[in-house]
Amino acid sequence: MTTKEKVLKVLEENRGRCISGAELAADLGVSRTAVWKSISSLIDDGVEIKSLAGSGYILPKDANALTVQGIAKYLKSDGLDIKIFKEVDSTNNVAKSLAAGGAKEGTVVFALSQNGGKGRLGRKFYSPSDVGVYMTLILRPGAQQTPYLTVLAAIAVADGIEKAGGKRTAIKWVNDVYADGKKCCGILTEAVADLETGGVEYAVVGIGINVTEPKGGFAPEIKDVATSVCDGVEDARNKVAACVLDEFFKRYRSFDKESVAAAYRAKSFLIGKQVTVVKADSMLPATVLDIDGDCHLVVRYEDGTQQTLLAGEVTLRTLRV
Q: State how far the Cα of 302 lies from the Cα of 290, in Å rounded to an integer.
A: 16
DSSP letter (8 states) at residue 62: T
Q: Hey, which residues does 310 pair with through a beta bridge?
A: none
Q: State how far the Cα of 131 lies from the Cα of 109, in Å rounded to an integer.
A: 17
Query: What DSSP element (H or E) covers 314?
Result: strand 313-316
In 45-80, alpha helices (H): 68-74
Q: Please tell me the predicted confidence (pLDDT) of residue 318.
A: 62
Q: Please tell me the predicted confidence (pLDDT) of residue 120.
A: 55
Q: Please tell me the predicted confidence (pLDDT) of residue 220.
A: 87
Q: Please tell me the predicted confidence (pLDDT) of residue 319.
A: 52
Q: Please tell me the predicted confidence (pLDDT) of residue 198.
A: 76
Sequential pLDDT tens for the chain (321 residues): 899 999 999 999 998 999 999 999 999 999 999 999 999 999 988 888 998 888 899 999 888 889 999 999 999 999 999 999 988 999 999 999 999 999 999 999 999 988 876 555 556 666 777 899 999 999 999 999 999 999 999 999 999 999 999 999 999 999 999 999 999 999 999 999 988 777 899 999 999 999 999 888 888 888 899 999 999 999 999 999 999 999 999 999 999 999 999 999 999 999 999 999 998 888 999 999 999 999 999 999 999 999 999 988 899 876 544
Which of 189, 116, 105 shows the shortest CA–CA distance to 140?
105
Contact 152, 243 (CB under 8 A): no
Q: Please tell me the predicted confidence (pLDDT) of residue 55.
A: 87
DSSP letter (8 states) at residue 252: H
Contact 260, 236 (CB under 8 A): no
Looking at the chain, the number of H-run helices and the number of E-run strands are 8, 14
Contact 66, 84 (CB under 8 A): yes
DSSP letter (8 states) at residue 148: G
Query: What DSSP element (H or E) covers 200?
Result: strand 200-210
What is the DSSP code string of 275-296? Answer: EEEEETTEEEEEEEEEE-TTSP
For 140, 188, 247, 249, the CA distances from 76, given in Å and listed in that order, are 21, 24, 10, 10
Which of 77, 54, 74, 76 shows the shortest CA–CA distance to 66?
74
